Amino acid sequence: MRSPVVGPEVLTPAATSGGDAVADHDARAAHTALRALARAEQRWRMTMDSSPLGMALLSVEGRFLRVNRALCALLGRDAESLRALASSDVVHPDDAAVAAVESARCLTGEQESSRLLQRWRHAAGHHVWVEVTAAVVREDDGTPIHVVAHVEDVSAQMQDRARLEHLLGELATRTTELERSNQDLEQVAAVASHDLRGPLTVLTGWLEILDHEYAGSLGPRGRELLRRADQASGRMMDLLDALLRHARVGGHVVERQHVALDDVLDQVVVDLGDTAARGLVRRDLAAPTVRADPALLRQLLQNLLGNAVKFRSPDRAPRVVVTSAVTPQGHELAVVDNGRGIAASQRARVLDMFGRDDSDPDHGHGIGLATCARIASLHGGRLLVEDTPGGGTTVRMTLPS
């Protein structure tokens, strides 16, 4: 029996038609996929070029693979010339080492992204300050594919920063010069008050001898002149004392501690040496304790209370109230009186050295309030002079909490 002959496969019309259908389906699917890929590519390109920030795709070696229009404009280059470069070709040499370290950390997975301030070289030769934010795109297994970077022009901010640093440097220099000048002035004031005190003491002594031994033979006009000379020497001695106190304040090292205001006020009232003053000064201490330098606080209160007692109004019974309270701005200490008051036009200048209220014929020497303002400043606070409702002066010192 003969074996059947096995020949080539015979394709029937049905088989041929089915194969063509499969091939046609695969071709259409491939075409659809290619069109989708092209659309995705176009959308990605449009997204990059629409971004106002510079964008770039870089190889893991750091070469530019794709760049957007904003980055080209920022660096003054076209896309083709940038694709011929690596990021290291545009980064300033002084920034390159840090950039290399950050890039290595991102590629190894030590960190997910980096953000650096760098200088990138413009085609014209100058460097542009940029902030570069970069991250690594990876395969599913973690293998790095490329790096995506956003590059923002921060030149304006860096110029503002440089100007600010320059201004701060000038301010520091001028502050140092002012402090040195103040120290010189304080030293001059201290020396002057000390050296002048001796001759003035001698002069006062001679005036006392003249009054004691020869007043009877001087006559009315002579005695009046002697009285005026004695008053003038007394004012001069007060001025020298005030100068010396002011100078000492400038050289005082502030030592803050909790101070009971009642105790300080008791001492100040006694120091005033005015029996009537003891009944004038009242207290409204919502915050009875303040953090301050005890010696400086005592001097400040002595100056303020001394002024309040001295410059009483002849039109009403004198009243002085010391208040203390905690406010949102800090600890506020105030001395409120119903005395003569200070003219509105004079309030700013009375806090300056030798600034006096010229509208008051019995003005002081113009140092006491300046010393108080200095004490407030040494504590990081400030001094304000205001009207008292109904007449008088209110002096407030605000200390930071």
Beta strands 127-138 and 257-260 are: unpaired
Lowest mean pLDDT among 92-101, 157-166, 169-178, 354-363: 354-363
At 13, the pLDDT band (50, 70, 90 cuts) reads: very low
Mean pLDDT computed over 342-363: 66
Classify each residue of 272-295 as buried b or exposed e, where b means 16 or more C-beta atoms within 10 Å of its C-beta.
bebeebeebbeeebeeeebebbbb
Lowest mean pLDDT among 179-188, 200-209, 322-331: 179-188
| pLDDT of 210 | 84
| pLDDT of 290 | 87
pLDDT digits (tens, 9 = 90+) for 27-69: 777 767 677 666 766 676 766 777 889 999 999 999 999 999 9
The pLDDT mean for the chain works out to 81
Alpha-carbon distance of 116 to 87, in angstroms, equals: 13
pTM over 0.75: no
| pLDDT of 182 | 66
Instruction: Look at residue 3 and tell me whether its pLDDT is greater than 60.
Output: no
| pLDDT of 39 | 73
Instruction: Look at residue 201 and tell me whether its pLDDT is greater than 70.
Output: yes
- Beta carbons of 326 and 391 less than 8 angstroms apart: no
Alpha-carbon distance of 385 to 398, in angstroms, equals: 12
| pLDDT of 356 | 60
Phi, psi dihedral angles at 147 (to 5 degrees):
-115, 135
pLDDT greater at residue 330 or residue 344: 330
Tokens 């010339």 found at: 81
Alpha-carbon distance of 333 to 271, in angstroms, equals: 20
Alpha-carbon distance of 246 to 93, in angstroms, equals: 56
Instruction: Look at residue 98 and tell me whether its pLDDT is greater than 60.
Output: yes
Which of 213-227, 250-264, 376-390: highest mean pLDDT?
376-390
291: tokens are 């953090």
At 101, the pLDDT band (50, 70, 90 cuts) reads: very high
pLDDT greater at residue 132 or residue 29: 132
3-state SS of the chain is CCCCCCCCCCCCHHHHHHHHHHHHHHHHHHHHHHHHHHHHHHHHHHHHHHCCCEEEEECCCCEEEEECHHHHHHHCCCHHHHHCCEHHHHECHHHHHHHHHHHHHHHCCCCCEEEEEEEEECCCCCEEEEEEEEEEEECCCCCEEEEEEEEEECHHHHHHHHHHHHHHHHHHHHHHHHHHHHHHHHHHHHHHHHHHHHHHHHHHHHHHHHHHHHHHHCHHHHHHHHHHHHHHHHHHHHHHHHHHHHHHHHCCCCCCEEEEHHHHHHHHHHHHCCHHHHHHEEEEECCCEEEECHHHHHHHHHHHHHHHHHCCCCCCCCCEEEEEEEECCEEEEEEEECCCCCCHHHCCHHHCCCCCCCCCCCCCCCCHHHHHHHHHHHCCCEEEEEECCCCCEEEEEEECC
At 11, the pLDDT band (50, 70, 90 cuts) reads: very low
Percent of the chain with pLDDT over 70: 77
Domains of the chain, earliest start first: 51-153 (3.30.450.20), 162-250 (1.10.287), 257-399 (3.30.565.10)
Alpha-carbon distance of 113 to 133, in angstroms, equals: 7
pLDDT greater at residue 349 or residue 137: 137
Percent of the chain with pLDDT over 90: 27
Mean pLDDT computed over 179-188: 68
Alpha-carbon distance of 72 to 273, in angstroms, equals: 82
Alpha-carbon distance of 394 to 336, in angstroms, equals: 4
> Which residues is 147 bridged to in the sheet?
58, 136
